[in-house]
Structure 1
Amino acid sequence: MKPQNRPPRPVHTATVRRTEQLTPAMVRVVVGSDALKDLGPFELTDHYIKIKFGDVTRTYTVRWHDRAAGEMALDFVIHGDEGLAGPWAARATAGDEIAFMGPGGGWAPRPDADVHLLVGDESALPAIAAALDALPADARVEVFLEVATAAERQPLRETSNTTVHWIHRDEHGMGYGEALTYAVETATLPEGDLEAFVHGNADMIKPLRHHLFNVMGVPREHVSISGYWRTGMNEDGWQSSKREFVAQMEAEQDA
Structure 2
Amino acid sequence: MTSENSNAPTLERVHHELKRRDLEAKSVERLTPSMIRVILIGEDLADFTSLAADDHMKLFVPDASGMMVMRDYTPRAYDNEARTLTVDFAVHDAGPATAWALSAKPGDRLQVGGPRGSAVLKGDIARYVLIADETGLPALGRWVEELGADVEVEAFAAVPGAEDEQDFQSDAKLTMHWIHRSEKEAARPEPFLNAVKTVSCGEGTYIWIAAEARVAKAIRSFFLEERKHPLQWMKAAGYWVHGQADSSEKSIGGSSAKPA
Q: TM-score, normalised by structure 1?
A: 0.81
Q: Are the counterparts in 1 of residues 186 and 212 from structure 2 also a CA contact under 8 Å?
A: no
Structure 2 counterparts to residues 65-80 of structure 1, below 5 A = 65-79=78-92
Q: Give the one of 235, 238, 241 matched to 1:227.
A: 238
Distance 1:140 1:45 in 2: 17
- Alignment-mate amino acid for residue 74 of structure 1: V
Question: Cα deviation per residue 1:72-101 (whole Å; 9 max; x = unaligned)?
Answer: 100001247x11111211211111111121
Q: Are the counterparts in 1 of residues 147 and 170 from structure 2 also a CA contact under 8 Å?
A: no
Q: Are the counterparts in 2 of residues 199 and 226 from structure 1 also a CA contact under 8 Å?
A: yes
Question: Cα deviation per residue 1:148-178 (whole Å; 9 max; x = unaligned)?
Answer: 11110010125683211100004x9845343
Compared CA separation, residues 190 and 225, structure 1 to 2 (3 A): closer
1:105 deviation in Å? 5.0
- Alignment-mate amino acid for residue 26 of structure 1: M
* Bigger strand share: 2
Gaps of 5+ in 2: 1-16, 62-66, 254-260
Q: Does 1:189 align with 2:197?
A: no
Structure 2 counterparts to residues 59-138 of structure 1, below 5 A = 59-79=72-92, 82-104=94-116, 106-108=118-120, 112-138=124-150
What residue is the counterpart of 1:48 in the other structure?
A: 56
- Alignment-mate amino acid for residue 132 of structure 2: G
Q: Give the one of 217, 223, 228 matched to 1:212.
A: 223
Q: Does 1:165 align with 2:177?
A: yes
1:19 deviation in Å? 1.2
Compared CA separation, residues 110 and 139, structure 1 to 2 (3 A): farther
Q: TM-score, normalised by structure 2?
A: 0.80
Q: Give the one of 145, 160, 164 matched to 1:148.
A: 160
Compared CA separation, residues 142 and 246, structure 1 to 2 (3 A): closer
Structure 2 counterparts to residues 24-35 of structure 1, below 5 A = 24-35=33-44
- Alignment-mate amino acid for residue 55 of structure 2: H
SS of aligned partner of 2:135: helix
Compared CA separation, residues 136 and 10, structure 1 to 2 (3 A): closer
- Alignment-mate amino acid for residue 38 of structure 2: V
Q: Are the counterparts in 1 of residues 151 and 172 from structure 2 also a CA contact under 8 Å?
A: no
Worse-matched range after superposition: 51-60 or 151-160:
151-160
Compared CA separation, residues 175 and 83, structure 1 to 2 (3 A): closer
Gaps of 5+ in 1: 1-7, 248-255
Q: Are the counterparts in 1 of residues 126 and 150 from structure 2 also a CA contact under 8 Å?
A: no
- Alignment-mate amino acid for residue 221 of structure 2: H
Q: Does 1:201 align with 2:209?
A: no
Equivalenced residue count is 231
Distance 1:111 1:135 in 2: 14
- Alignment-mate amino acid for residue 53 of structure 2: T
- Higher relative contact order, structure no. (Cα contacts within 8 Å, ≥ 6 residues apart): 2
Q: Are the counterparts in 2 of residues 111 and 139 from structure 1 also a CA contact under 8 Å?
A: no
